[in-house]
Each structure stands twice: as C-alpha cells, then as structure tokens.
Amino acid sequence: MANQDLFYDMTKLGTAQEKQQHLITRVGDGGLKTVTVTVWSNGTPYNLTGLTPVFEGVKPDGEKIIDTRGAIVLDPVNGVFRYTFPHQASTAEGEYKQAFFKLKRGEQTDSTLEVQVRVLKNMVEFGINSESYYTEYQQKVSELEGKINTYLEELKIKAAGTEAQVEANVTLAKALKQQLDLIQGIANEREILTRAELNEAINTITNNVDSINGKIESLKRETNEEVGRIKEEVTGVKTGVLDDVSTITKSGVYYFNSTTKNVPTRNSNNADGYIEAVMKNENNGMLTMLGTGYAIEKYNGKLHGRWVTSVPVKLWSGNLVKGQTATLKGNCHDFGNLLIEVSYTTNRHAVEFIKIPSNGNTIYLNNIGMRSVDGGFKNGYLDEVVIRIKDDTHIVLEKALRATGDEKAVDSNAYITAIYGIF
C-alpha cells in the first residue's frame, strides 16, 4: 500500500504551511493509495475527537466526489488521520479542478487548503467510467431500497393472511345463512312456534349475517385496493406521459417521450422509454433512463448537474471533409467527451477520444502510418485533422493534412464519418 504524508494548518493563513506533495495516481487505481494527514491550528495539534474527515473534490472531467467513509482517525489528540482513495477518485485523466479535506461534526465543518491531485492516463484498461461519488447518498439509497423491499414482503404476508381470514369468515357466514333458511322451512311446515315470533327472530339473525357479509366484502375490497395502490406507487409504471423530469417526487417508473421536458439528447432508438426513480424523499433521489446508460441526481428539489451516460450517443454521421461544418443534433457540452470516427490515409477506421473544450477552441487529431516502397517500408505518413468547436451544436473540419518524410505537408483526403457524445 502506497502512503504519503500531508501537513495542514487549519487557519489557512499559509505562514506555517508545509509544502504540499503533489499526489499522483493513475486511471483505474483505488483501494491501495493512502495519505496520512496531520492537521494543526496556530502551531498546536488540531483535536479530531468527535470529528469525521471527509474528502471532497472536482475531478478533471467535472464530476464530483464526496467521500465520508474513506478516512480513519489514527491519533485524535494529535490531529492525525489516514485516508484511502476509492476507485472513483481515479477515473478521469488530468488535474483535479479542486480537492481538499473537510472536518465535519453534524452541520459544523472546517476545511484544509487545496490538495493537488493529478491522475495519469491508463492506455491499457478501458471501460473505466467516471461518475459523481457521494458515499452518504449511496448508502441512504441502499437503505431505502432495503426498507421498501422489506415493507413489500411484510405487506404481502399480511395481505395473504387477511385474505385467508376473510374467505373463512365469508364461508362461515354463508353456511350459517343456509342453516337459517333450512330452519325457517321446517318451522313454516310444522309451526313449532308462532310464525310471527319465529320470523322476527330469523329476520334479526339474517340482518346480522347480511351485515357481517357486507363488512367482510368491504374489508376484502379495501385491502386489495390498498395493496394494489402501494405496489403501483412503489414499483408500478405511472399512468400517462411524464411532463417534466424535474417534477418527479416519488419512487416509481415513468414513461417519457419527445414532449417531456429536461430529458437529454438520445439515440434514435431511445426516442421514448421509461425513467426509474428511487427517491429518498420528494426532493432527493436518483433518476435512471432505462436502457440508455443515462442517470442524473435530484438534489434539494432540483436536477443536480447534467445527465451522464456510459453509452455513446450519436450526434452526427455522414462524410465531413475539409471546409465543411457538422450540425449536431444536440449540445456537445451536455457531454464530458466526444468519440470521433476519422478516416486517415493509413487508418480508415480510427476512433479519437477527446475532452470537449469551450466554444471557439481548436482540436488537433493525428495519426502515423508506414508507406510501402518496392516491397519495403520507409518515410511513414503523418496525418493531421484539425477541427474547431464553432458553438454548442456545430463543429468545423478546418484542415486535413498529410506529410511524408521531410516533405512539406499537403492537403489530404482524410474525413470524419461520425461524432458521438459520452460521459
């Protein structure tokens, strides 16, 4: 296990601040990278008794991490704790936009100066998805799902028991009614009692039996309706078309289509579908667009950040050559990265993975390949395709160049065939 030592003065004045080490990790790392942190205040150890160390940061791709469970207090009196980085801390290449440690007791907090974190590229492992990481929230969602499942099982058992009792009472009441009918027939024939007296007694019993029957049937109907209502509310598909994703307040499955507001740009086969909501309460929960890879958090009554997807979404396809502009079907800045299919001189099926810059910025895509001469190889080709993010929905292919050996670069026939958004 790799460990580094950090020292912080919680006053943040900086005069007695130790020079911070630059923390370096690699995409895919996690679980074995630790730091031992010592905190001071005005030259004396910062007492950590009753405090919880929390790591917070904004990853290179803009996703956030708030980890309340990765730290262990080693020496509370002398202000020493150890923090182990989770896998989600090392999922995006580059420098953290911000990172720091926070000390927390209920609603009371104090924080350190910035922690410099750099994540190195991993060219070996693929499919490492970056997403926001909130340990407290994920724990609460798991607890909520467990409580819902337990409640449904208990309700199912109670409903089954109630139904059995109801059926038994109905059968008993029907048998009693048949016996009374038989008694009335015998009495009418033999006149053991006066008919008026017997009829009065039978009518009283019959009315009571009918009342019992009515109450039992009503209880059975109400119980079945309540069970159905709870099942539909917790797990069923809500009726109608969802008007606005931001208005979801209850757990369940919601149908959406092109009229629904606050849905992201989707692939053509996901024009409509279902959104599953797992809500802690009416203001906080997690929303997942089934079958698309999309998810978003609802936090304090509002959609938090943007929809994030692990499945590429096709924004444009065709044959884009030098001087042409691709019109995307959605805002490219609704995604963290672009996948661009490029046809180079020596690689006609290349796929480039790029981080999306702000509007007006230029991106250089390069490819190197060998050139065959009389059965041998020499003076390889160097291709360069230059694109510019014109605005949120337009990308221009400004240059397509090719160079061979020491020769000057000339225009090439390289072109772009598709552009996807992801993460």
Mean pLDDT of 89-96: 91
Percent of the chain with pLDDT over 70: 72
Closest CA to 365 of 333, 395, 327: 395
Q: How many CA atoms lie within 13 A of 298 on its CB side?
A: 25
> pLDDT for 321-355, tens place per residue?
999 999 999 999 999 999 999 999 889 999 999 99
**127 pLDDT more than 60:** no
What DSSP character marks residue 258? T
pLDDT at 238 over 90: no
- pLDDT value of residue 357: 95
Task: Read off the pLDDT band of 275 (50, 70, 90).
Answer: very high
pLDDT at 383 over 80: yes
pLDDT interval class at 376 (50, 70, 90): low
Residue 292 has pLDDT above 80, yes or no: yes
Query: What does the block give as tokens for 66?
Result: 């708030």
Q: What is the Cα 274 distance to its own chain's centre? A: 15
Q: Domain coordinates of the chain in residue numbers?
A: 2-125, 139-234, 238-309, 313-422
Mean pLDDT of 79-98: 92
Judged on CB neighbours under 10 Å (0-12, 13-18, 19+), 320 is buried
pLDDT at 239 over 90: no
**DSSP letter string, 2-67:** EEEEEEEETT---TTPPPPP-EEEETT--SSEEEEEEEEETTEE---TT-EEEEEEE-TTS-EEEE
Least confident of 156-165, 240-249, 310-319, 383-392: 156-165
For residues 81-109, average pLDDT: 91
The radius of gyration of the chain's CA atoms, rounded to the nearest angstrom, is 34
DSSP for residue 323: T
The topology under which CATH files domain 2-125 is: Immunoglobulin-like (2.60.40)
Asked whether the predicted pLDDT for residue 406 surpasses 80, the reply is no
| Strand order from edge to edge, sheet including 313-320 | 313-320, 415-422, 337-343, 350-355
Residue where the block lists tokens 């009693």: 176
- Please determine, for residue 53, whether its predicted confidence score (pLDDT) is greater than 80: yes
pLDDT of 165 > 80? The answer is no
| pLDDT reported for residue 56 | 94
Q: Residue 94 has what pLDDT?
A: 94
Q: Is the pLDDT of residue 385 over 90?
A: yes
CA pair distance 206, 202, nearest whole angstrom: 6
Three-state secondary-structure class, residue 108: strand
Highest mean pLDDT: which range of 22-36, 230-244, 304-318: 304-318
Tokens found for residue 155: 């309700």
The answer, yes or no, to whether residue 163 has pLDDT greater than 90, is no
Q: Does residue 276 register a pLDDT over 60?
A: yes
Residue 67, classified by CB atoms within 10 Å of its CB into exposed (0-12), middle (13-18) or buried (19+), is buried
pLDDT value of position 404: 85
Whether the domain at 2-125 and the domain at 313-422 fall into the same CATH topology: no
**According to the model, what pLDDT value does residue 326 have?**
97
Output the pLDDT for position 312: 94
Q: How confident is the model at residue 144 (pLDDT cuts 50, 70, 90)?
A: low
> In the sheet that 52-58 helps form, which strands lie side by side, from edge to edge?
108-111, 98-105, 52-58, 64-67, 133-134
- Look at residue 11 in the predicted model and tell me its pLDDT: 84
Report the pLDDT value the prediction gives residue 3, as an integer from 0 to 100.
82
The pLDDT value given to residue 60: 93
Task: For domain 313-422, give the CATH number.
Answer: 2.60.320.30
Place of tokens 């024009």: 271
Q: Is the pLDDT of residue 141 over 60?
A: no
More confident of the two residues 159 and 299: 299
Q: What is the pLDDT of residue 361?
A: 96
Q: What's the residue count for the chain? A: 423
